[in-house]
Structure 1
């Protein structure tokens, strides 16, 4: 992630789980002259390939 203020690289300070599919991510700009700290969100949107195993379906011993 780049800092939206100065476009320098950032560090992830912490993440906070909102739901199983959404997180807040707190970033800190690595540029000491900037010092920007900001939050982004990471969200599950969709699957590209459907999984072979479902949460409610038992795993087959023959697999």
Structure 2
């Protein structure tokens, strides 16, 4: 099986999963003609970064480009954290965690 076919099946699987969850897929338009684009392959660079190759759906434009999908900050702490991954914590999540830690949890 060719790499391209494997990548397409992988993307197809992900799209089907997202459709099943009724999640909205955030897209971006072609930076040149502003028409819709389609992801044609992706590459995981790290646990925090993925590169996605897009192709413009406008045949007259034909632009192909790479965009990045990056984890920027934590909004809600994980119940199963990977301590090897360092993700900045938002001010809101930090305040909430500190508030929970400061609660008096003495057993009566």
TM above 0.5, yes or no, is: yes
Show structure 1 runs of 5+ residues with no match. 57-63
Residue 19, structure 1, aligned to residue 46, structure 2 = yes
Question: What is the aligned-residue RMSD (CA, Å)?
Answer: 1.2
Q: 2:65 aligns with which of 38, 43, 46?
A: 38
Q: TM-score, normalised by structure 2?
A: 0.49
Greater Cα radius of gyration, structure 1 or 2: 2
| Aligned pairs, number | 56
| Runs (4+) off by over 4 Å | none
Larger proportion of helix: 2
Query: With structure 1 as the length reference, what TM-score do the two structures score?
Result: 0.81
Distance (whole Å) between structure 1 residues aligned to residue 45 and residue 76 of structure 2: 25
Structure 2: 5+ residue stretches without partners: 1-27, 84-108
Three-state SS of the structure 2 residue aligned to 1:52 is coil
